[in-house]
């Protein structure tokens, strides 16, 4: 049962009309003044993980059709997910058991009872506990995929025997700009220990109105480009008439350059709110043309890939591999709550020859064509979408040399000193990077003065002494004593 501000959610819809039921449950949840205030506060919030949290803070980032949970009183971590246009990010927190779980649902996983059970099974307190519920995503668009995804989750939570206090429901019309049709937010980060919400993005332009300007619709892009062309044509015509009326005294080159810069500046302020229409038209792909302001800002998206957790290319490829195997949709649990490790479970994958050729073909497409063939909302995707698709497809093509290939289980633990996820050896439980550094350190021999050992004559050669319990030398104390006695007798 869903409760909003201590009032149960009531859905008035006729039985049998599925579309009407979906609209009613979403409308009933988003029409609440309490929810609208919460949505407005989150959309206008300037808190982001990259700016508001320290580098040592652990962030558990889930991708599409992934889930994770933490015992937040023991494991201080932030739950996060990104790139939710028609998908919905759900966070459920149980204050009684101290467990918080996050999942990134698409339309298929949102209507699966097995996926919801797996998501709620992270909470060991039982089915009748009281939970806090947060939903973000599911924008309003022509295909109504976002509406169906949001309605599926809201209906299942409302029919559940547990009590869900809906704290945030930024979905459908509450997450869509009325002027451009762009999603207001596409990410969600949550700190269960402090109940603080954050924006999460691989782009520096994903906060508030900046997200709308960056993801402006294709229709408005074309309108702006046409308006810019007409304005430039009229301006050139006016300039030509003025030149014919000008006297023989022509302006200098510096005056012409200053006048041209002033015209360009005014046109940018009038048409693009500080960003020129030509720049919008050139950057309608996910990565804009070189030299523009958007390229410099967007390039930082690829410098923050490590923020989305370890094994990124393998996890991205998992979506394409599971979709190609005609299996039931599943939520992949990527975090071990007990051991506090990021775990990528191994399995055997089979990729047909037809899919291999199809994936190779997709890699040859431009950003615009790739978006049309792989996204439900090509004009609203983030800057990293094409990069992620190519990364996943390349990973599959590199590993699928045979019809079947195996991906083994990998475990990672968070190292707050270096602020990265380190792979853990499954046999010893030690961090593999630390083992490698220890081996490199052991391979270095130092002389009595602390210099690096080398061939410096007889004085530079140090005897290797066998210390009981160690394995770093080859000569025993007995052999060393014999050598000294033989040298003294000679």
pLDDT exceeding 70 applies to what percent of the chain? Answer: 63
Q: How confident is the model at residue 233 (pLDDT cuts 50, 70, 90)?
A: low
In this prediction, residues 399-407 reach a mean pLDDT of 85
Of the candidates 191, 175, 193, the one whose C-alpha atom is nearest the C-alpha of residue 183 is: 175
Helix (H, G, I), strand (E, B) or coil at 206: coil
Length of the chain equals 490
Higher-pLDDT residue of 155, 227: 155
Segment 137-189, tens digit of pLDDT = 999 998 899 999 999 999 999 988 889 999 999 999 999 998 888 999 999 99
User: Do residues 205 and 297 touch, judged by C-beta distance below 8 A?
Assistant: yes
Of the candidates 124, 133, 27, the one whose C-alpha atom is nearest the C-alpha of residue 71 is: 124
In this prediction, residues 300-310 reach a mean pLDDT of 61
DSSP bridge partners of 3: 8, 165
Q: Is 463's pLDDT higher than 50?
A: no
Whole-prediction pTM value? 0.69
Of the candidates 35, 27, 77, the one whose C-alpha atom is nearest the C-alpha of residue 416 is: 77
Segment 251-268, tens digit of pLDDT = 565 666 666 666 655 555
The pLDDT, as a whole number, for residue 263 is 62
Q: Is 122's pLDDT higher than 50?
A: yes
Q: How confident is the model at residue 353 (pLDDT cuts 50, 70, 90)?
A: confident
State phi, psi for 115 to the nearest 5 degrees: -65, -40
Helix (H, G, I), strand (E, B) or coil at 47: coil
User: Do residues 50 and 304 touch, judged by C-beta distance below 8 A?
Assistant: yes
DSSP bridge partners of 115: none
Lowest mean pLDDT among 20-34, 171-185, 243-257, 397-411: 243-257
Give the CA-trace dihedral at 106, 108, 114, 120, to 10 degrees. 20
DSSP for 264-288, please give it.
HHHHHHHHSTTS-HHHHHHT-SSSP
The pLDDT, as a whole number, for residue 151 is 94
Dist CA 222 CA 379 (whole Å): 12
For the chain, the straight-line distance linking the first and the last C-alpha, in angstroms and rounded, comes to 95
Helix (H, G, I), strand (E, B) or coil at 48: strand
**b/e map 180-218, b = 16+ CB within 10 Å:** bbbbbbbbbbbbbeeeebbbbbbbbbbbeeebbbbbbbe
Residue 451 gets which letter from DSSP? Answer: P
Give the number of other Cβ atoms within 10 Å of residue 335's Cβ. 24
User: Do residues 467 and 473 touch, judged by C-beta distance below 8 A?
Assistant: yes
Dist CA 348 CA 321 (whole Å): 10
DSSP for 460-484, please give it.
TPPP----TT--S----HHHHHHHH
| Element (DSSP H or E) covering residue 131 | strand 130-139
Segment 60-105, tens digit of pLDDT = 999 999 999 999 888 989 999 999 999 999 999 988 888 999 999 9
Q: E-strand spans in 370-418?
A: 404-407, 410-415
């Amino acid at each position: 049962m869903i409760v909003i501000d201590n009032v149960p959610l009531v859905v008035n819809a006729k039985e049998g009309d599925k579309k009407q039921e979906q609209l009613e449950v979403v409308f009933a949840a988003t029409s609440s003044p309490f929810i609208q205030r919460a949505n407005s506060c989150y959309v206008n919030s300037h808190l982001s993980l990259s700016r508001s949290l320290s580098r040592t803070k652990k962030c558990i980032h889930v991708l599409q059709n992934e889930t994770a949970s933490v015992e937040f009183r023991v494991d201080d971590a932030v739950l996060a997910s990104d790139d939710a246009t028609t998908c919905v990010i759900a966070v459920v927190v149980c204050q009684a058991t101290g467990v918080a779980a996050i999942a990134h649902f698409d339309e298929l996983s949102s209507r699966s009872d097995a996926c919801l059970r797996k998501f709620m099974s992270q909470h060991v307190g039982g089915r009748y506990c009281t939970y806090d519920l947060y939903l973000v995503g599911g924008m309003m668009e022509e295909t109504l995929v976002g509406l169906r995804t949001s309605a599926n989750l809201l209906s299942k939570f409302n029919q559940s025997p547990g009590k869900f206090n809906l704290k945030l429901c930024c979905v459908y019309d509450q997450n869509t700009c009325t002027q451009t049709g762009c999603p207001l937010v596409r990410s969600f980060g949550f700190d269960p220990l402090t109940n603080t919400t954050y924006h999460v993005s691989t782009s520096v332009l994903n906060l508030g109105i900046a997200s709308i300007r960056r993801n402006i619709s294709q229709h408005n892009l074309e309108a702006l480009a046409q308006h810019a062309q007409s304005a430039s044509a009229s301006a050139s015509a006016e300039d030509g008439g003025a030149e014919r009326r000008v006297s023989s005294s022509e302006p200098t080159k510096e005056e012409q350059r200053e006048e041209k810069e002033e015209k360009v500046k005014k046109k940018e302020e009038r048409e693009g709110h500080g960003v020129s229409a030509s720049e919008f038209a050139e950057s309608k792909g996910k990565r804009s043309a070189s030299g523009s302001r958007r390229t410099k800002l967007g390039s930082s998206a690829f410098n923050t890939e490590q923020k989305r957790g370890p094994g990124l290319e393998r996890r991205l490829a998992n979506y394409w591999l599971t979709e190609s195997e005609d299996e039931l949709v599943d939520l992949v649990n990527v975090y071990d709550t007990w051991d506090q490790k990021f775990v990528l479970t191994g399995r055997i994958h089979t990729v047909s020859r037809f899919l291999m050729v199809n994936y190779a073909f997709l890699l040859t497409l431009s950003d615009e064509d790739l978006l049309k063939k792989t996204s439900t909302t090509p004009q609203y995707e983030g800057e990293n979408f094409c990069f992620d698709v190519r990364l996943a497809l390349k990973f599959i093509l590199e590993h699928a040399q045979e019809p079947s290939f195996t991906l083994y289980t990998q475990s990672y633990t968070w190292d707050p000193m270096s602020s990265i996820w380190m792979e853990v050896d499954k046999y010893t439980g030690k961090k593999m990077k630390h083992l490698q550094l220890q081996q490199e350190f052991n391979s270095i021999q130092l002389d009595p003065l602390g210099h690096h050992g080398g061939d410096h004559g007889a004085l530079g050669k140090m005897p290797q002494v066998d210390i009981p319990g160690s394995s770093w030398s080859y000569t025993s104390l007995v052999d060393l004593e014999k050598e000294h006695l033989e040298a003294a007798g000679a």
